[in-house]
Amino acid sequence: MIGLCEGFRERYPGTRVGLLAVRAAENPKHCPRLERAKKALEEDLRAKYEDRAAIKDEPVIGIYREYYKRFKSTYHVLNQVASIALKGRSIPQVAALVEAMFMAELKNMVLTSGHDLDAMNAPLTMDSARGGETFTTLAGKEASVKSGDIILLDARGPAGSIIYGPDLRTMIRPQTVNVLFVAWGVPDLPPEIIQAHLNDIEGFLKLIAPECRVENSGVV
């Protein structure tokens, strides 16, 4: 379902990417079963981490922080986990498909983006940016991708990068029923962690839409 370009393989040898494509999902604003799972996850995070140092010591966090340092940036998932575990904040209620992805991201700390599958145009590829590729972010701002950043592309152009996140064109919308989740692998992130993360997303999706159909799931 996705190809790894030569530039990606050369700059990031051995790096893997996870994909989960799901059909016939649902995207309600509120899902009671998912809400119960959210509360349980919040309690687990608060019980697991006593301080920020404990979160920073997580191996997955460390792997992503090393990647982000190359671009003089910080791994935002660290702050997101800290806000739930240490500051007593709740997982926001936005739309069920986005919440399911975010829950798995908090649990596993694996960077993930969600896309409306019907808004994407094959072929899908992962590449190392040459620098200057542009797309509109979820905030509505134009991003110019940094050279070397890992970038997702479809036939129409960039659909997101690690540093700038997913694009506006392919974002999950209230009417989205066919969805693609991309687990952005970075150097040294084990493929089994990526696959377990995809499995968790699928499990949360089944709480929302038990009859949804997994079209593709795996690590490439």
User: How far is the CA of 6 from the CAs of 18, 67, 80, 129, in angstroms?
Assistant: 18, 19, 33, 11
Q: Please, are residues 213 and 22 in contact by the beta-carbon 8 Å criterion? A: yes
Calpha distance 131→23 (Å, rounded)? 34
For residues 171-198, give the mean pLDDT. 98
Relative to beta strand 18-23, strand 134-136 is unpaired
Q: Give the pLDDT confidence score for residue 57 in this predicted structure.
A: 97
Calpha distance 2→61 (Å, rounded)? 25
Q: Which two tokens stand for residue 137?
A: 């972010």
Model confidence at 1: pLDDT above 90: no
pLDDT in tens, 8-47: 999 999 999 999 999 999 999 999 999 999 999 999 999 9
pLDDT band at 74, cuts 50/70/90?
A: very high
Amino acid (one-letter) located at 85? A
Peptide bond into 174 cis (omega under 30): no
Torsion sign over Cα 172, 138, 162, 105: negative
For residues 68-78, give the mean pLDDT. 97
**Residue 42 phi, psi dihedral angles, 5° rounding:** -60, -45
Q: Give the pLDDT confidence score for residue 105 in this predicted structure.
A: 98
